[in-house]
Chain A
Amino acid sequence: MVDPIVEVVNSQVGVLILTGVMVLVAGIVAALFELTKPKPEESSEGEKLNPYLAGEPESVVTRVDAPIDALYWGFAKGWGKKLYNYLREVMHSGNLNDWCSYMALWMGIGSIIALVGIVAYLIWGWSAW
């Protein structure tokens, strides 16, 4: 019986080896797939050429695929709009005090972060980082 081999390698070398394994396995699966295929590939004909649209003709859709900018608009109209509306409600309530407290809150958080940074720098210096 062959004993297991434990190879301790550098992290980058490890990822390179695993990437090589990934490509090797992909190649072998592709070769097996081609070998076991019973008949040569044929192009589809007739109705099969159309995308499946639950029985509707292709004219019912503007396009069959999703445009690239849909990702941006999906975010902008979904999450982005929600965030914008929330911020607008908080900042633009018509009451100047609301706006002042909102700005003071963020300034306060910024000040605390800066203070913690300064204290940490004074205690440990840059070398600790």
Chain B
Amino acid sequence: MVGINEILLFLFSVLVFPGLIFVTLLTMLSEWWLRKITARAQKRMGPSYVGPFGILQPFADFIKLITVKEEIRQKYSTVKLAKVFAFLGIGAVIAVLLLLPLSPLRLVSSYDIIAISYFCCVWVPLAMIVMALSLPNPFTAGGVSRLLSIYAICEPAYFISILVPIALVNGLIGSEVPYSVFETSQKVWILWSNPVTAIILFLALVAVTVVTQSKAMLAPFNIPEAEQELIAGPMTEFSGPLLALNNLLHESDLAVTLLITTYLFLGGPYPFPHLSVLGALVFIAKYIVLLTVVAIIQSVFGRFRIEQALSTLVRYSLIPGVIALVAAMAVSAFSI
């Protein structure tokens, strides 16, 4: 029998923490950090005017797009379909958070890694692509075609990479619920103390970082929105509130992907508990380091052509991911 406490905890987890409100705040703050670091690397100021150090600039941009800017509806567009998929995409991004130990209500099931892949690698790309194609335009079609080519490599690479820590924890440490994200997040930090498993984890971490960069369409994988050729690629026809929704989906996908990496590869706050000063500091530090790495990669690379982007993805995400997974399986089988 489900009590009132469980229902309230469920609603709190879905709507407040780590649900909608937390993800929105995290997304805006991550966007600010990304823009600030990128700007400083390019000898610019970055966001500076709204709030201290410009920290409220992403909030201001979002509110401006929703409340002030006009939503242009060209004659071929189906804006309502685009919005429905934007809402579903944001829903998918938030749903996976219930699988992480961050949530007060934690869902744990065997092989729930597949659920993460289903929501992050199927629903989010589907939402982005349907949104783009709902407002037909030749530039949009070109951008979506490039985006699909990138997804064809980066999504399998993502699944393979996040499977590595789960396979290692399951094979070497053992878990009550096999292949669960929850148990992996709690135990993966132990594997960094073993040089063999640390190398394997590092290889998978490199793969997942490259994938994160390409999933978020950040440089050098921003060819789908190359402005000189495709104006804004998949986002060419977006404006006003629809652009705000697209930005929210895009940035929240990046924030949640980094949260998943923080837990699955770096062990979140563990060995310290979540509700301790050290735990919170360790967790925030790991997240910021990952976000900063993403920002630095974005700053130092120029845009790759599509074939360069695809071959880089194969070389630095798919192949290291496969090697790490094979090594993880071998190490688990022989229990080094």
Contact = CB atoms under 8 A, between A and B. Distances in A.
B221 to A, nearest CB: 19
Given A5-B105, A9-B109, A51 B74 contact: yes
Interface string A10-39: 110111011101111111111001001110
A25 B98 contact: no
A25 B256 CA distance: 15
A6 B88 contact: no
Given A9-B108, A18-B107, A25 B76 contact: no
Contact of A25 (B73, B83, B91, B231): B91
B156 to A, nearest CB: 16
Contacts of B139: 52-54
Contact of A18 (B71, B95, B241): B95
Contact of B108 (A6, A15, A48): A6
A36 B112 CA distance: 36
Contacts of B103: 4
Interface stretch (B13-21, B164-172, B211-219, B276-284): B13-21
Contact of B95 (A5, A19, A29): A19
A31 to B, nearest CB: 10
A11 B75 CA distance: 44
Contacts of A18: 95-96, 98-99, 107, 115, 119
B112 A4 contact: no
B107 A61 contact: no
Given A4-B104, A21-B14, A54-B231, A10 B138 contact: no
Nearest to B115: A15
B335 interface: no
Nearest to A27: B87
Given A9-B109, A21-B91, A64-B136, A51 B115 contact: no
A8 B20 contact: no
B94 A14 contact: no
B67 interface: yes
B108 A52 contact: no
A7 interface: yes
Given A9-B107, A53-B138, A48 B95 contact: no
A50 B74 contact: yes
Contacts of B177: 8
B247 interface: no
A51 B9 CA distance: 46
Task: Please tell me the size bucket of the interface on B.
Answer: 35 or more
B73 A44 contact: yes
A78 B158 CA distance: 25
B143 to A, nearest CB: 11
B236 A50 contact: no
Contacts of B106: 4-7
Interface in A64-85: 64-66, 70, 74
B314 interface: no
Contacts of B137: 51-53, 64-65
Given A8-B108, A48-B72, A52-B237, A25 B90 contact: yes
Nearest to B67: A38
A96 interface: no
B182 interface: yes
Most chain B CB within a 10 A radius of its CB, from A14, A18, A64: A18
A27 to B, nearest CB: 7
A43 interface: yes
A21 B145 contact: no
B92 interface: yes
Contacts of B135: 51
Contacts of B304: none
Given A18-B96, A26-B84, A37-B241, 9 more contacts: A8-B177, A11-B110, A18-B95, A18-B115, A18-B119, A22-B91, A25-B20, A64-B137, A65-B136
Interface of A: 2, 4-11, 13-15, 17-19, 21-30, 33, 36-38, 41, 43-44, 48-54, 61, 64-66, 70, 74
